Every structure is written in C-alpha cells, then in structure tokens.
A and B are shown apart, each in its own frame.
Chain A
Amino acid sequence: MRAAFSIRPVAMAITLALALGPLPTAYAAGNDEAALRAEVAELRAQLIELKHEVQQMHAAPAAAAAAAATATTASTAPASAATLPANADAASLPGAAPMQSSILNTAASATTLYGYGEMNYTRPTKDKSATQADLARAVFGFIHAFDENTRIVSEFEWEHAVASASDQGEAEVEQLYIEHQLQPNYGLRAGLMLIPLGLLNEHHEPTNYYGVYRNFVETAIIPSTWREGGVSIYGNTEFGLNWSAGVTTGPDLSKWDPTSPEGRESPLGSIHQELQLAKARDPSVFAAANWQGIPGLTVGGGIFTGKIGQGQPGFLANHARLLLGEGHVRWQTGPFDLSALYTRGTISDTENLNLTFIGNPTPAPKAFWGGYVQGAWRAWEHDGAAIAPFVRYEEYNTAASYEAIPLGLGVDPLVTSKLWTAGVNYWLNPNVVFKADYQQFRSESDRNRFDLGIGFQF
C-alpha cells in the first residue's frame, strides 16, 4: 500500500528532473528559444497538476495514506513482532517515530497519546539476597500533528517507580522534537531525538525485543535509550533505503569519573548529557541508513562522531574525539527472526587525562565494542497471541584498550564479557508481552540470573 502511494509522485519527479535536464544545453545552443519557452510553460503546468494530485492523495481519509504521508507506518509496527514478514520494514526504520496505535486524522490537528510500561523480576542464581523486582519504566508520550506535514513527538519516562531527591528513580524527557515533512520522501527534525543507531534504540518498547532486559551490547556500548539535541534530515527512497543524518549535541568527557564503576558499565552512558544543561561547544554528527529492499530483510548501519571535550578550560582532553559505528542485519522469514549486530567505539586523545587518573579503577577507555547474534522462532500464534522462544549470544567489552600509561601504572583492559540468553516471549496480543529468560555468563558466573518481565504498549 505504501509503496503504491509513494512511487507515482517520485516517478513523476524523476521524469521531470530528466525532462528539465537538457534545458541548460539547449539554452547554450541558443536555438529555438521560443520553442523552449513553450516547453518550460508546459512542464510548469504539469508540475502544478502533479502537486495537486499529491495534495489530494494526502487529503484522502484512508489510514494507510496518512501513515505513508508521515513516513512512519508506525500504526502497524506493534503488530510487526506478531506478523513478521508483512511489515518487517517498520520495525527498523531509522528515524521512525515511536509506536502509535491510533490513527492520525489528517483533517484537523490531531493529538495522539501513547505509552508503554515494563516491570521485571530478577533473581541472580549465585546471590539470592540480590533478588529484585522493579517497575523499570512507565512511559507516556504524545504526538501532536499541526497539519499533515508538521507534528511534535514527545516521550516522557519514569524509571524505578519513585523519583525524588532521596529515591533512586528518575523522571526524564526522552524525546521532544518537531518533525516537518518537506517532501513525501524526506523531512526534517529538530529537538531532542533518538540517535538512529542499532536495532533497539529507536524501537525500545518491551514488545519489540526478545528477553526481559534490553541486550547488553545496546545498553553498555550503544547507550540506549540514547538521545541528543539537534537537527536532522531523514528520508526514504523508493528502492527501500531509509536514511537519516544530523548534527546534535554529544557526550561530555569532562564528566568522566575515574573513581566510579559507571564508566566500566557503560562508557557513553556515564558521560551522556541528555540535553540537560548540556555543554555544546563541540557538535557531533551522525548518519545512518537501513535498506529494506527485500521483504523481511533489513541491513543497516550508522556512525556517530564528534569531539567530546567540550572545550572546557584546563581540561586535558579537549581534543578527544568519539567515533562510534555500528552495523546490523535482521532477517525475518517465516516463523524465524534472526538478527546480528556489531558496534565499536573509540575515544582518542585520552592519554594526558588518564595520567591524572593514575591508580583509579576507571580511566577513560580508548576502545569499546560489542556484538550479538540472536535467533527467535515463532512457535505458535493464534489471533494476535504468539509464543516465541529465542536465544542470543553476546560479547561486549566496555574497555578493550587504553592509551599507554608509563611505568606500568595503567590498568589492564577489561576481559570481554560473554553471555548466552535464552528465554521466551509470550504475546497475549501484539501489545502485551510476558517474558522469561535465563542469562548465563561464560566467565562471570556471579552475574548469572533468571528474569521475568511484563511489558505492554499502546
């Protein structure tokens, strides 16, 4: 459906471009000026007619048309986990808006409310006293469309149930941006937005991933949910490429705390700014793309880079540059959902900074990386309900190397964490999921745990 609406105007645009192409040479030749003028007038008329057609198509009340015009097909995304091959592309669109189950009415300004929640229970197998149950996230957001081309997207979150100065929860704004569709195939965003790297960052709702917790690679290395403030341009092409690029704020290396274990849990997670009075001396840029030309297959990747010293006076790593790249592939075929992802980040120029951290357990790393392969099998489904066991193998290292420190006074690079996760997702319906899994670490057995989870979205 979506393709049918988008091909015609694009095809017409391409035809026009080709038609207008020879014009300069014709002018240069200097012959038949009058004929040329007539041709231009005719092309102009055709263009106006074409624009009219496109506007009429946008005004059509069909739900799928509205979704196509705003380039999201998000309304079908919650079902994507349950009805795999048909809308496999929706789940992996870079720059796609969060899930919305209700349909945008383009006739007048429309506000859509959406949200999700997840609760989990964790029982470490080697330390029962650390068993924990937590309301991990309660999220709501709204999308408000001013007209068929412009809307605000927002997402607000409470973590760990209670947020106050003496509680451990957090309340945060995860997304808040304006999106403006310039053409059916590209548009602009400005504000606090998700960085389109990885498979999880933009589609982080509990119904959209396997396992009670988000995988380690996409929390420790790609710090989901990763958002920055800035502007971006996004678009799609008729041969199935969805792309986006932007200029945003970046992390702040002057926040690095060598005494704390946070930097070892997630290097970027410990220095991200989340647009909270963010130091913005050094902008970062990102670019990402996903190709979904073959139904069921998504191949994509992206990079994010920028200087992260933020030019602070007296800071010894003002030239440090972060470069994070990732590549992923997802293949949904029949009842199988297979995916693989690899990501690697580097921070340059941390030598002088780490010299002032000597002896502390957490110097700033030079390189960190992670990768996983995952397979899920939709063993049973009926009327929107489904059961899918899955298995995932991950490896990640949050400090694979450091810049050299003299006299052997540096710390050793971390040992790569390797773990298996096996479990099952049970969807009561496409928007409600119950999960159970067991995570086993190859050489850190005190981290082994059994998890249960509930997730839902609307």
Chain B
Amino acid sequence: MYLKVAVHASMSRVIRCVFTGWVLASCSVALVHADTAAVAVQLATPSMLGKAIFFDESLSASGKTSCATCHDPAHAHAHAQSNTLAVQSGGEFHDVPGFRAVPSLRYLNLGIAFHFENDGTPIGGFNRDGRANSLLEQAERPLLAPHEMANGTHADAVARLANASYADDFRRVFGNSVFDDIDRAFFRMQFALEKYEVTDPGFHPFDSKYDYFLAGKVKLSAQELRGFSLFNRPDKGKCLGCHPSTRGSDGSSPVFTDYTYDNLGLPRNTAIAANVDPAYYDLGLCGPFRTDLAEHTDLCGAFKVPTLRNVATRQVFFHNGSFKTLTDAIRFYVRRDTNPEQFYPLDANGIAQKFNDLPAEFHKNVNTSEVPYDRHPGEAPRLSEDEIADLVVFLQTLTDGYDALSNTADPARSLTK
C-alpha cells in the first residue's frame, strides 16, 4: 500500500517535471529572441516594455526626443541641469516652445482621478491642470503634442513603435496582430508606460533623509529641525496645509501633496513664447488646454499642488517657471503681498502689477487668505530671511537617494540598475 502511494507520488512528480521543463523550454525560446533585441533587458512584461518606450528617442518626430529627455530619471524624472529654461522646446527641430515647466514624474503612482469633493473642492488628476484621470491617459499628450514628441497622430506614433527594436517583444506581450489596429496599439503603449511608472521603484523610492527621519533611523540637524518646524507651524510657513508632512493614519509615508489646486497669482513669465500675446493667459483648471471646466470661473488660475519631494533638485519652479531658485520661490510665498514690487513689473505710476498673469476679473481668485501669503502691505512677512534659509535646508531633506555616510542625497541613487 505504501509502495503504491509512493510510486504514484513519484509518477505525478515526473509528470510535473516534464511539464515544467516544457514551459521552461518555451520561455527560453522567448528569452533567446529577446537577446537579439538591442535592449539588454528581458522585455517580457508590459512594465519592461514601458521602460523601453520611455527611453526610446526614435518615438518622436525629431528622432531625438524620448520621455526621458525631459523627465531625466537621474534628475528626479524632471528636467536636468543642462538648461534653466522655464519651459522646454520640442517638435521635429526642437524649435516649438512649450507652455508649462516640466514636472517631476516621481510619486505619481499615488495620484487619484480628478473629481470634485462634496464641498466643491477640485481634487486629483494628472498634468498641471488635472485633465488626465490616470497615468495611462496622461501618456497620450506628450507623444503627440507639436511642442513635445510631435508624433501628431496615433498612426505616426504606432508606425515608429512598429519599427522599434523591441517591436517583437511588444507583439509577444500584446498579441501578434497588435499593430494592425492603430488605436489598440497606441492604447497598449500608454498602458505599458503607466505600468512602468507605477511598478518601477525608481519612481517612488521613499529613500530621502526625511523618510529615514520618520522611521527613527536618522536625526535631522538643528537647521533642518528649525526648517521643519517652520514648515509645519500654522503661524509661520503652514506649508503642510497643502503639502502634508505627516504619515497617513494607515502609516503610509507622506507624499507632500493633498492633490488639491491653488491659485498663487504668480508673475507672468515673459520667457514663455505664448505670453508674448497679451491676450493669452494660462488659466490652469479653466483652460486653455483643459476645456471642460471653462464655466467654473472661480477656478481660473488654479494649478495642481505638486509633491515637494525632490523640489530642491529643480531648476525652475511653478507651472510657468517664473522662479529659478527654491529660495526665490519661497520668498515669493512670503513677500508676495508685503513687497509685490520685488516680483511684478511696475506700471507707469510705479505700482506693482500684481497677479499680472491673470485677467483682471480673475484677480479675486488668487489665494490671499492662507498662511503665509495672507499678508497686507506694511505687515511683516511671516518668515525672515534666516527662516527662509532654514526652510530651504529642510526641503533639501526631501531629496531621494539619501546616503547617511556622506549626508548627501542624489535622486540618481534611487534608480534600479
């Protein structure tokens, strides 16, 4: 009886071994095919395809622009230090100017779809005006837009993809006939990009000095602690009002955005080509790129609150790149209303033209009630210069890729090799 059972067990094991061997053999056939691809990694999953697409410069009209060109992974997936232009140019000859500063793509995996809360607050969405409801939706515009990768149509983008070195892997994952249907193929391109951004840990490493501090593993310096206090204090920076710094009630790490929108009344940036036309205004939630909320005139001028993680690595700040250093950006928050002449052009009478990047009827939409930009002329700013310096030092602790031994942070360290 015992022997019979044992024999039976070993027989089923043999069968399992044979089956496993057959599966492995099939896989190795696929692996051999992948080896012939120019890309060294195994391209067996949508996420890996997404990575290939992300770095593939041939997917653009110029043949020299990929997602990574503007969203450099080593630079927190935002623009690298090679230039400090407010907005980048794209198109076939890199001469079509853009409209908004390049945002970081890190930590977007935690984003939520755009919607209105019960009290009417707009929340969520991707892009600076939240017009995409998911990373999948968001991936479409940069591939097609004339000032970006300029593919123009789904057909052109898919045609370039079909010529890519990993096109066979794309077929293997999504079906041999995937390129026969243009829209279907394009959708799967978006899907692969989304999968890459969501699953690759390099997009959301949570390995900044602040993360180690929250885990009790590292101490902040005295200046960092002072800056942290100013960040949180409701009478000083109150930055956490839109950029929460505490763990969620479920223990999740803070993302430093509450996914809402704010209207800061930023100065108009004449470096943006479109701003040469005085009738052109970038109104964020109510247009011009987003058109579904055009009647919500109270939302004109409001842009998405981005994460502050890696903010210290940026070259340009805010949606229109109107400031070049973090210190200047914070000075704007603190002194916008006490010293507007430092930020806005003066009119003929020497009076600062506040909120000059908004039509006059939308000036009332600007947030003038929240700390720290709730000041009136003559009142003291809520932060002194020393305090602004402390705050900047604290914000540097939000940079990914912290190394305790050298006490330095580099977002490039967070990338998976």
Contacts and interface: CB of A to CB of B under 8 A. Distances in A.
B229 A356 contact: no
Nearest to B210: A356
Contacts of B213: 356
A31 interface: no
Interface string B220-240: 001001101111111010001
Contacts of A255: 249
Given A258-B246, A360-B246, A407-B222, A312 B230 contact: no
Secondary structure class of chain A's binding surface, majority of residues: loop
Contact of A356 (B214, B222, B251): B214
A173 interface: no
B233 to A, nearest CB: 4
Interface in A231-276: 254-255, 257-259
Contacts of A356: 213-214, 246-247
B251 A359 contact: no
A313 B236 CA distance: 32
Contact of A360 (B216, B232, B251): B232
Given A357-B246, A407-B226, A312 B251 contact: yes
Contacts of B226: 407, 409
A260 to B, nearest CB: 10
Contacts of A360: 232-233, 240, 246
Residue from A257, A315, A352, A359 with most neighbouring chain B CB atoms (10 Å): A359
Contacts of A312: 251
Contact of A358 (B118, B225, B234, B247): B225
A97 B359 CA distance: 68
Contact of B240 (A259, A314, A352): A259
Contacts of A258: 232, 246
B1 interface: no
A407 to B, nearest CB: 6
B215 interface: yes
A443 B226 CA distance: 32
Interface residues of A, number: 22
Contact of A359 (B222, B231, B247, B249): B231
Given A255-B249, A312-B251, A407-B226, A359 B232 contact: yes
Contacts of B251: 254, 312-315
B229 A259 contact: no
Contacts, number: 52
B231 to A, nearest CB: 6
A169 interface: no
A406 B225 contact: yes
Contacts of A25: none
Contacts of A352: 216
Contacts of B228: 358-359
Interface string A300-341: 000000000000111110000000000000000000000000
B246 A166 contact: no
Given A259-B246, A360-B246, A407-B222, A314 B215 contact: yes
Contacts of B215: 314, 316
A54 to B, nearest CB: 52
B229 A359 contact: yes
Given A166-B118, A359-B228, A359-B233, A316 B216 contact: yes
A254 B234 CA distance: 22
A189 to B, nearest CB: 31
Contacts of B230: 359
Contact of B229 (A166, A313, A315, A409): A409
A409 B249 contact: no
B237 to A, nearest CB: 8
B241 to A, nearest CB: 9
A331 B404 CA distance: 63
Nearest to A361: B234
A312 B250 CA distance: 9
Contacts of B225: 355, 358, 406-407, 409
A409 B226 CA distance: 7
Contacts of B233: 359-360
Nearest to B241: A259
A361 B235 CA distance: 10
Interface string B126-143: 000000000000000000
A359 B246 CA distance: 11
Contacts of B214: 314, 316, 356
Contacts of A409: 225-226, 229
A298 B236 CA distance: 51
B261 to A, nearest CB: 20
A190 B234 CA distance: 45
Interface in B84-122: 118
Interface in B175-225: 213-216, 222, 225
B74 to A, nearest CB: 28
Contacts of A254: 249, 251
A356 B251 CA distance: 13
A258 B229 CA distance: 12
Contacts of A316: 214-216
B96 to A, nearest CB: 44
A124 B222 CA distance: 44
Nearest to B254: A356
Contacts of A361: 234
B179 to A, nearest CB: 46
Residue from A357, A358, A406, A407 with most neighbouring chain B CB atoms (10 Å): A358
Contacts of B246: 257-259, 356-357, 360
Residue from B222, B229, B231 with most neighbouring chain A CB atoms (10 Å): B229
Given A255-B249, A358-B229, A360-B233, 10 more contacts: A166-B118, A257-B246, A314-B215, A314-B251, A356-B247, A358-B228, A359-B228, A359-B233, A359-B236, A360-B240
12 contacts: A257-B249, A259-B246, A315-B251, A316-B215, A357-B232, A358-B228, A358-B229, A358-B232, A359-B231, A359-B236, A360-B232, A360-B240
**3 shortest A-B CB distances, which residue pairs?**
A359-B232, A359-B229, A359-B233
